[in-house]
Structure formats: C-alpha cells, structure tokens
C-alpha cells in the first residue's frame, strides 16, 4: 500500500525549499538595501534642482548677467548667437554629467533590488501558490495512517515550521517589499531629481531676441480705391 505521507512529504519539502529560497534572498537584499542607504547618507549628492535653470532661459539677458558676475570665465562681452549656443551646450553637458552621477547613487541602486526579488519569486511562484494545498495535504493524508509519527519527525528535521513562520512574518509581513517607506522615499528623491534635470535639457535652444528676425508679411498689392465722384456743378 502506498503511504500517502511519502507523497505529502515530497510536496512539503518542495514548498519548504521554495520558502527557504525566498527567505534567504529577501534577508540578503534587505541587508544590502540598508548598506546602500547608509552609504547614500554619507556620500550621496543630490543637487538643489530648484536652483538650476533650463536651457531655454539662456538668452542675451542671462548671458550678460553671467559675464558681469563671473569675469574669470572670459566670456565675450558682446555675444553672438553662436556664443550663446555654445554656453547652452556646455550647460547641457554639465547636466548630463550630473544625471550620470545620480544614476550611480546608492539610493537609486536600492530601487533595483526589488527587481531581483521579483525574479527569484517568479522562479518559485508555482510552488508558493500551492503552499496552502500542500499544508492541507499534510494534515489530511498523514492524520489517519500509522506512519504519521515518522512523517512529523521528518518535517521537524527540515525546520518546516520555522521557515514558514519566517516567510510569513518577514516577507509577507513586509508586503514582499525589500525597501521600507524611508528607503522608498530616498529612492524616489533621486529618481525624481534625474527626471527634473532631464526636463531642464529637453527644450531646444532658442534664438536670442537681438538676432531674431520678424516674420515677413507678404505683399498683397495696392488695395482697391473707391472712385471719387466729380464735384457738383455750380448752380445756374
């Protein structure tokens, strides 16, 4: 006669290995997230986005202000359209370097840890989704046979209950999220900074007002004139 506990035990062990995998990965990613959060607090660089200007505001007026405030830059005092375009390009390059720095920020790297967790869960989802069925199988199949005692001992050796409790308390209790609320806010802060800086670079350079040409109104010819009536003849 086939011992149903053998079948149930195989299913339980499969589920046990799945939750052990999740528990190990989740704990490791949480430790890494905590480390990245601490590194970001020490060495992170998030600029004051509100103090930066978009490229389209680089015009004759702002150029003249920069020349007066920063003579050490040796900017031409009478700029041409090419000079202003060059300044816009240099500012865009500086913004691009700033974005590059932010993409390496430890807080931004925290946000990528959730993707790693999702990949691990995806590999064991089928087993995890059937976990409740496995547990029901244990109780139903092994509660009525003589081998139940041996089965209980085997499950105890795999630390099934401890693994399941850890899985429920830590992973499910955290809503499967590696980052806590404070970490998520820091990630959002860096991500938002990147978006805002990219927006500063998105506008096309404008032609300075001093060199802009007014649109030409096409010549539609002389307007027709109303003919004048001859003067009234003098009275007889």
Predicted confidence (pLDDT) per residue in 203-214, tens digit: 554 344 444 443
Which position has the higher pLDDT, 12 or 20?
A: 20
Identify which of 15-24, 42-51, 194-203, 208-217 has the greatest average pLDDT.
15-24
Average pLDDT of the chain, as a whole number: 75
CA R_g for the chain? 37
Q: Is residue 221 part of a domain?
A: no
Q: Is residue 191 part of a domain?
A: yes
Which position has the higher pLDDT, 17 or 6?
A: 17
Average of pLDDT values for 159-164? Answer: 80
Distance CA 151, CA 62 (A): 80
Q: Is the pLDDT of residue 14 over 50?
A: yes
pTM strictly above 0.85: no
Distance CA 43, CA 62 (A): 33
Identify which of 11-25, 38-52, 61-75, 134-148 has the greatest average pLDDT.
11-25
Q: Is residue 219 part of a domain?
A: no
Q: Is residue 168 part of a domain?
A: yes
Cβ atoms < 10 Å from Cβ of 36: 24
- Decide: 62 and 53 in contact? Cβ < 8 Å: yes
Q: Is the pLDDT of residue 234 over 70?
A: no
Residue 176 zone, left/alpha/beta (φ > 0; ψ -120 to 50; rest): left
Q: Is residue 99 part of a domain?
A: no
86 burial (CB, 10 Å; 0-12 / 13-18 / 19+) is middle
Domains of the chain: total = 1
- Residue 34 confidence (pLDDT): 94
Specify the DSSP class assigned to residue 23: H
Identify which of 86-90, 115-119, 135-139 has the greatest average pLDDT.
115-119
Distance CA 111, CA 113 (A): 5
Q: Is residue 70 part of a domain?
A: no
- Residue 113 confidence (pLDDT): 94
- Residue 213 confidence (pLDDT): 43
Specify the DSSP class assigned to residue 55: G
Which position has the higher pLDDT, 233 or 52?
A: 52
Specify the DSSP class assigned to residue 47: -
- Residue 3 confidence (pLDDT): 67
Say which residues have a Cβ less than 8 Å from residue 120's Cβ, sequence separation at least 6: 21, 22, 25
Distance CA 3, CA 122 (A): 32
Q: Is residue 109 part of a domain?
A: yes
DSSP string, 63-128: HHHHHHH-GGG---SS--HHHHHHHHHHHHHHHHHHHHHHHT-HHHHHHHHHHHHHHHHHHHHHHH
- Decide: 105 and 191 in contact? Cβ < 8 Å: no
Average of pLDDT values for 124-152? Answer: 63
Q: Is residue 33 part of a domain?
A: yes
Structural domain of 125: 4-46+105-203
- Decide: 106 and 44 in contact? Cβ < 8 Å: yes
Distance CA 47, CA 50 (A): 9
Q: Which of 52-61, 101-110, 113-122, 143-152 is predicted least confidently?
A: 143-152
């Amino acid at each position: 006669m086939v011992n149903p506990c053998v079948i149930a035990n195989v299913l339980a062990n499969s589920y046990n290995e799945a939750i052990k995998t999740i528990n190990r990965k989740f704990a490791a990613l949480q430790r890494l997230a905590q480390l990245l959060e601490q590194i970001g607090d020490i060495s992170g660089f998030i600029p004051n986005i509100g103090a930066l200007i978009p490229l389209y505001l680089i015009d004759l007026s702002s150029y003249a202000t920069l020349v007066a405030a920063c003579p050490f830059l040796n900017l031409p005092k009478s700029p041409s359209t090419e000079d202003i375009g060059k300044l816009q390009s240099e500012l865009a390059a500086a913004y691009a370097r700033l974005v590059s720095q932010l993409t390496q920020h430890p807080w931004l790297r925290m946000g990528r840890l959730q993707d790693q967790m999702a990949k691990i869960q995806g590999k064991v989802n089928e087993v995890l989704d059937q976990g409740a069925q496995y547990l029901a199988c244990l109780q139903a199949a092994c509660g009525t046979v003589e081998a139940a005692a041996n089965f209980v001992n085997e499950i105890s050796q795999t630390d099934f209950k401890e693994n399941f409790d850890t899985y429920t308390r830590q992973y499910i209790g955290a809503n499967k999220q590696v980052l806590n609320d404070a970490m998520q806010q820091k990630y959002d802060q860096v991500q938002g900074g990147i978006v805002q800086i990219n927006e500063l670079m998105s506008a096309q350079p404008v032609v300075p007002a001093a060199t802009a040409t007014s649109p030409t109104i096409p010549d539609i010819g002389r307007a027709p004139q109303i003919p004048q009536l001859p003067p009234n003849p003098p009275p007889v």
